[in-house]
Structure 1
Amino acid sequence: MTEVVGTRTRRAGAWQGILLLAGSCMPVLGSVLITPVLPQLSQHFAKEPAAEILVPMIVAIPALMIAIFAPFAGQIVDRLGRKRLLIGALVLYSLVGTAPVWLEGLTEILVSRVLVGVCEAAIMTVCTTLIVDYFHEEHRRKRYLGLQTVTTTLAATVFIIVGGALGAGGWHVPFWVYLAGVIIALPMLFSLWEPASDPTDAHVTSAAAARVPWRRILAPVLVTLFGGFSFYVLIIEVSYLVVSSGVSADDTGIIGAVAAGASLATAIGGLLFARMTKVRPTRLLPIAFGLQAVGMIVIGLTAALPGVIVGAVIASFGSGLLLPSLVTWAVSTTTFEDRGRVTGWWTASFYLGQFLTPILMGAITAAVGSLSIAVAVVGIAAVVMAVATLATLWRRGAGAVAEA
């Protein structure tokens, strides 16, 4: 997108894209940084009531806050602007994100994670909205949305490795990495601007702009709810799968390496999406869900470490295709006036699926008696979703689905 400043025209370029991609990594940091130390946290808080549910919530509860507050962040974005909300959220994110360095109680840590999630809701919504605003041309927009997945998953790989390495010094130490929010906010303050509507963009009346276009986004939002769940199953559970295969909970190096390998596979899937500029995102959905299904079923068939690694890589590659396909589908028909709302609801749906992951996985595991088999059950559900999306494409045609 271009912005006229006096007689000068400002156009978003690579630097603005880099900053927005970096900002998009912050909610991912919240999800994966401390996964290598989850077994340590489980041991540390083992005597706390309901610790088997509450400890995974340290990772998952920010997702609930994103699910609750992202629609409100979307409304603020559309009504009051993008930049100030983003800068403020990043600064507060660093403050509350580092709080567990000094906290000892499980309840206090969970409260800090609630506040982290509120900040993440604003950060993710604004960064995605600004990517769509700044890069108005379809090919540039699709490239940066694909790169958003690539960047966040590559960053997740780095964060997992860093979290595993820092975890050797105790579970408190990885939380220092949340200072990255302030570091990113500083260049954003000088390099980003509040976008004006582009003359080539689609527009609606002010009355229509006040409404969420549910007829256009309901299908993407519902599919994204399951996609958020299936995307985060291995992100949250891979460390426990590695430990259940015989690796010590204190061996955060191996746990982090396996999780990082799966994250790298997700990045490769996102990079492939970014290069497939001529393929409609909905055509990739059955393939993405199918790959997730294959990987998860492999894990269910063999709970040994090699099976966990192979299955996690296959499923994560499918996740790399899935995430940008879902967000591109959702925002492809937005207007400037409703873009923040649509992005907010999509973000809420995705992260609600993430939040439900430990709850649903706990229930499924209790029902089937094994975490690896529970993962395979999710794989079977992914098969159903792959068939359903394929049938929808066959019935309506990919173009009609993309415009739904």
Structure 2
Amino acid sequence: MLADRFGRKSMLLLGCLLYALFGALPVLLHELRLILLSRLLFGCAEALIMTCCTTLIADYWPPRERMRYINRQVITIGVVGALFFVIGGVAGEGSWRTPFLLYLTPLLMLPAIAAWLWEPDRRQEDSHAAPALNGGVRRTVLTACFLIFAGMVTCFVVTVMTPTVLVMRGVTSTSLIGAAAGLAILCTLIGSIAWPFVRERIGVAGVNALLLGCMAAGLCVLALAPSYAVVLAAMVLQGVGAGFLVSNASLPLLLGLPPHLRARGVGAFTACLYLGQFASPLIITAIAQPLGGMPAGLANAILVWALLTMVLALVWLVVGLRHARLQSGPVAH
């Protein structure tokens, strides 16, 4: 809503400034509660940046180009995230505070943002703005938000719980645990790169069913894995599915929302993305409680969530096939 009211570019500049400020603040803080508060505010700034960037992509480019740049955004996030993960690890050898200084790097981008980005002309958009969401737009937003929430819950089962699963399997080497996480990130990038080609062949609904199925299969393999090698196979399945997720979930939103509602819809989508990440360990822990608690019931809890995800994949497949059949119309004989 802030980006709709005050403009995308100005909110992006503000978001980058706050991102750097709150991101680097733990370097100076000593109390844990203040550090946690700074991370909370940092998350708000990050969400503001994500919303503004995604909305600007939709504002700047027509639908076909929009798809391409959204996918490039997802790939860039993965590459830069992996790169800074490595740099942060090296920087943290001397002090745990040093990696937080990396969050100052967006300050270097502020002049480029101010000089090269422009605020879309929304006067014509506002003159044609509808007073409220219609049913179709509301369904688009709710569907995208539901998918990204459920998908992020599933993704973060692997991110958060894989180290525990590996330790329970007798793998305690931090290098091996880190390698498994790195493989998942690599496969996520592969999935992101492959997404345009897969989407062209099976459509958005088909990709939704595929990505949910891949992630569900990955969770099943992870929960039942008897060895480290099998856990790596789970990382591949999960990573490829996760690579499809953000681009495919956001595409109907960016194509279907009218310009005057775009930032609001993307903001809701981004909020659900982060809520899914936050809720994931809470959901799995809650499922594990009646199954033996943590960590004894972790594998069964992962299997339960995998089953729910697979059911969702099948529902999406059926709905997608029905929608495709309705669009194709009756076949002439």
Range of TM-score over shorter length: 0.7 to 0.9
1:183 is matched with: 108
Asked if 1:230 corresponds to 2:230, the answer is: no
**Residues 164, 256 of structure 1: 8 Å contact kept:** no
Describe the shift of the 1:398–1:243 C-alpha distance in structure 2 as closer, same or farther (beyond 3 A). farther
Q: CA deviation at 1:338?
A: 1.0
Aligned to 2:238: 315
Cα deviation for residue 386 of structure 1 reads: 0.5
Q: Are the counterparts in 2 of residues 298 and 376 from structure 1 also a CA contact under 8 Å?
A: no
Alignment of 1:39-78 (within 5 A): 75-78=1-4
3-state SS of 2:131 partner: helix
Aligned length: 322
| TM-score normalised by length of structure 2 | 0.86
- Relative to total residues, which structure has the larger helix share, 1 or 2? 2
Q: CA deviation at 1:181?
A: 2.3
Query: How far, CA to CA, are the matches of 2:36 and 2:67 in structure 1?
Result: 36
Deviation at 1:197, TM superposition (A): 4.2
Alignment partner of 1:273 is 2:173: no
Give 2:272's aligned residue. Answer: 349
1:219-273 per-position Cα deviation (integer Å, ceiling 9, x unaligned):
2222222122112222233344444444447x3x443332122111111101111
Distance in 2, Cα, partners of 1:167 & 1:319? 28
Alignment partner, residue 298 of structure 1 = 221
Contact 2:91/2:98 (<8 A) preserved = yes
**Equivalent position SS for 1:181:** helix
Against the structure 1 CA distance between its residues 127 and 143, is the aligned structure 2 distance closer, same or farther, given a 3 Å change threshold? same
Structure 1 counterpart of 2:274, which letter? Y
| Separation (CA, whole Å) in 2 of partners of 1:398 and 1:328 | 21
Q: Could you list the runs of 5+ residues in structure 2 that have no partner in the other structure? A: 328-333
* Residue of structure 2 equivalent to 1:67: none
Q: Does 1:362 align with 2:285?
A: yes
Can you give the 5+ residue segments of structure 1 that lack an aligned partner in the other structure?
1-74
Q: Paired residue for 2:330? A: none
Structure 2 counterparts to residues 53-202 of structure 1, below 5 A: 75-136=1-62, 138-197=63-122
- Rounded Cα–Cα distance in structure 1 between residues aligned with 2:93 and 2:298: 26
**CA–CA separation in structure 1 for the residues paired with 2:39 and 2:226:** 31
Counterpart amino acid of residue 7 in structure 2 = G
SS of residue matched to 1:194: coil
- Alignment match, 1:389: 316
* SS of the residue 1:332 aligns to: helix
Deviation of 1:131 (Å): 0.7
Letter of the structure 1 residue corresponding to residue 255 of structure 2: S
Distance (Å, rounded) in 1 between the aligned partners of 2:297 and 2:230: 15
Alpha-carbon distance between aligned partners in 2 of 1:370 and 1:168, rounded to the nearest angstrom: 35
Look up the SS of the partner of 2:256 in the other structure: coil
Where does residue 258 of structure 1 map in the other structure? Answer: 180
List, as ranges, runs of 4+ consecutive aligned residues in structure 1 with deviation greater than 6 Å. 209-212
**CA 1:169/1:212 → structure 2, altered by over 3 Å: closer, same or farther?**
farther
Secondary structure at 1:349 match in 2:
helix
Alignment check: 8 A CA contact 2:157 2:280 kept? yes
Deviation at 1:198, TM superposition (A): 9.8
TM-score by length of 1: 0.72
SS in 2 for 1:103: coil
Contact 1:228 1:354 (8 Å CA) reproduced: yes
Deviation of 1:122 after TM superposition, in Å, equals 0.8
- Cα distance in 1 for partners of 2:21, 2:325 equals 45
Counting aligned pairs with the same residue, the percent is 30
* Superimposed CA distance per residue, residues 11-64 of structure 1 (whole angstroms, 9 cap, x where no aligned partner): xxxxxxxxxxxxxxxxxxxxxxxxxxxxxxxxxxxxxxxxxxxxxxxxxxxxxx
For 1:264, give the aligned amino acid. Answer: L
Corresponding residue of 1:333 = 256
**3-state DSSP of counterpart to 1:205:** coil
Please give the secondary structure, in 1, of the residue aligned with 2:259: coil
Q: Structure 2 matches for 1:22-41, cutoff 5 A?
A: none
